[in-house]
Amino acid sequence: MNLRLFLLILVSVSLSAVAQLALKVGTGAAAGEQAAGIARQIGGLIQSPWVLIGLGLYGFGAIVWLFVLSRAPLSLVYPFVGIGFILTMLAGAFYLQESVGQLRVAGTLMIALGCALVARSA
């Protein structure tokens, strides 16, 4: 795997992780309308700028991912999606002040180790 392809994988996965963060922030704002009907909740989500930003980031990340898939075997690149678990956990911990316990960190480190092993097999 060349450096350019690896960087594109990181860009795609990072965009997905940032998209998750934006979606979480956007849904947090709409959560106050839980007493309202489902249509009103959906309307609140659709109008949330953070939800729209998150969806846009997902879309752009998907385009980058398509470029990656056109240049490498799926069995090689797909395990790198696991990096998104790491980035998303870190975003939750640092930006949303979510609690991250030892088991969650251990599981996430196992995912990182798996990604490293797959990369070395290339």
pLDDT band at 117 (very low <50, low <70, confident <90, very high): confident
CB 54 within 8 A of CB 28: no
Could you report the per-residue pLDDT of 63-113, keeping only the tens digit for each? 999 999 999 998 888 888 888 888 999 999 999 999 999 999 999 889 888
Q: Could you tell me where the beta strands, DSSP code E, fall in the chain? A: none
**Taking each helix axis from N to C terminus, what angle separates 38-47 and 49-69, rounded to the nearest 10 degrees?**
70
Sorted by where each begins, the domain ranges of the chain are 3-120
Q: Rounded to a whole number, what is the distance in angstroms from the first to the last CA of the chain?
A: 6
Global pTM reads 0.82
Q: Per residue in 31-47, pLDDT tens?
A: 665 556 777 777 778 88
Distances (CA, A) of 77 to 22, 49, 72, 111, 122: 25, 31, 7, 14, 10
pLDDT value of residue 28: 79
d(CA 107, CA 98): 16
